[in-house]
Amino acid sequence: MLTRDLNKLLSEMSLEEKVGQLLLIGFEGRRPNREVAEFIKEGKVGGVVLLSRNAEEAGEAADLICVLQKLATAGSHALPLFIAVDQEGGSVVRLTEGVTVFPSNMALGATGCSDYALLAAEAVGGELASLGVNMNFAPVLDVNNNPRNPVIGIRSFGEDPELVAEFGKMAIKGYQNRGVATVAKHFPGHGDTAFDSHLTMPRVPYTMERLFQLELVPFQAAIACGVDCIMTAHLAFPAIEANPGLPATLSETVLTGLLRQKMGFDGLIITDCLEMQGVTAAVNPEQAAAMAVGAGADLALISHSLERQRAAHREIMESVRRGFIPLVRIEEAVGKILRLKQRLFTTEQSISSSGRSRQKVEVSRKLGVASAQNSAEENQSLARRIAADSLTLVRNEGGILPLKLQPNEDLLIITFRGRGLTLVEEGGGFVSGLFHSLRKRHLRIEERIVAISPEENEIDQIIRELKERRPGMVILATQDAGLYPGQATVVKRVAAAGFPSVVIALRTPYDLAAFPEVKTFIAAYGFRTTTLEALAGLLWGEFLPLGKLPVSIPGLYPAGYGLEGFD
């Protein structure tokens, strides 16, 4: 265990080892290759982030974590690794099998019950800790008030900064209750952008007054409640940083001046991945690592290239030797890292058990991991309850819902193929499942899966098929229709043709603005199995709708709106 005197430990570490603690790396494949393993054994890595490419199933993750920690603790100082994942819930989760996948943050916001955020985080945190994961890149504290935001959306709790702050605080408490370090993101705020920082550097053009009234509110609340870490965003904030080409991640004015000095944050500052184009448009990842550390970051995240990771280690070392980064800055960062590791590895996990074998983790592909605090069944039940309580019936003109199909009537589902719409989803995400949930309730059912933004010829074919089959009901499951105009065209043409239909937004509820003429509309905030099963129940009237919009639909409905019954 990390029970040694940390000041003494810090004094015994070489500069090479200290710089190694500042690197948070990722790698390809199910096991680290020889070169990655050697890099870890050399003491040049402070933590590892696991993505879906490394493990999707709980037992597999536990085995991998055991391997990684054994590599790290074989060194002279036996320092364990941070093991991090993005297990946000909803569209962004890395582990999908043998764990409980909870609905999205926006679904939580739609319930109006912040206790759900606490309970969900405790459930997820307990499952992660039982596998040896000690850091979750969550919660997302971005205030999503831009309908055209392509990367945050349902990852946000909503558009009200106070609601985001309250739900965020409860999530932080829940993870910490289970011994998992929390990482609030993406500072200073990625919610009001129309571009994805994986692909470019978005610009947030607002005044400091506006930022403190909106974007920064959840982060200030998180700091007040003791969040462990804050992750930076690769965005330009001209009101804070005068250099237009310098993203927040690399700005001393943002990280030290604003976050440390003005807002009083004393935890770890972690960069978002430095291989994202929001940074690499200006500098290469290894230069970015040195610049970020010099600006005030404590952990530099490089998720992919070992060559870049080794180069970053060399770049930071050279920057210290040449006086560009003061040694005191390195020691300050390492001190924070060691203190957090000491807390994590002396409360919940010993170094030897931080990655447990498959036999020691109770895993069920159907039910999930049973943590020490909750059974797998209890976690699954909680996820189902949240999903049901979040569903928001926005319109039910004509009383189509609940469905009243006769046994001989056909039900057709039109689903837009939305797998991995953003890079953060790693090509994963949506898997068609609404068909299976509805089939339990109605036998005459068929699903038509079409392109995310179908072209005119595909749309014409859909309408021809509908006219030939004359189904009793059409369900259209949209995904970010405002960003993919072909979806709106399909919905409008189905409505114009007079077919009875229900539109379900599987991501953000902003979709309704793209086809305001539709008569029946449900906001679901997600596409995972738990949400789809709840949707099927709502469509058949097995429970009443309770959810309220956590974001406004421009020109149509304010945040907080939602029908409280089918009438």
Those residues with Cβ within 8 angstroms of residue 325's Cβ, 6 or more apart along the chain or in another chain: 290, 293, 294, 316, 319
d(CA 296, CA 302) in angstroms, rounded, equals 17
Closest CA to 426 of 20, 37, 159, 54: 54
Those residues with Cβ within 8 angstroms of residue 98's Cβ, 6 or more apart along the chain or in another chain: 57, 58, 59, 363, 364, 365, 368, 369
Q: Is 291 exposed, middle or buried, given 0-12, 13-18 or 19+ CB atoms closer than 10 A? A: buried
Token pair for residue 234? Answer: 């690769």
Residue 246, CA distances (Å) to 200, 249, 320, 383 in order: 12, 8, 21, 41
Query: Is 190 among the residues known to form the active site?
Result: no
Quick check: 72 and 134 in contact, CB under 8 A? no
d(CA 55, CA 426) in angstroms, rounded, equals 12
Number of residues that this document lists for the chain: 567
Those residues with Cβ within 8 angstroms of residue 14's Cβ, 6 or more apart along the chain or in another chain: none
Q: Which of 63, 192, 228, 272 is catalytic?
A: 272
Closest CA to 368 of 87, 103, 121, 99: 99
Query: Is 272 among the residues known to form the active site?
Result: yes
DSSP-assigned states of every residue in 143-199? ----TT-SSSGGGSS-S-HHHHHHHHHHHHHHHHHTT-EEEEEEET--TT-SS-TTT
CB count in 10 Å sphere of residue 404? 12
Which residue type occupies 83? I
d(CA 105, CA 103) in angstroms, rounded, equals 7
Beta bridge partners of 32: none
Quick check: 548 and 523 in contact, CB under 8 A? no
Q: Which of 198, 304, 410, 436 is catalytic?
A: 198
Active site residues per annotation: 198, 272
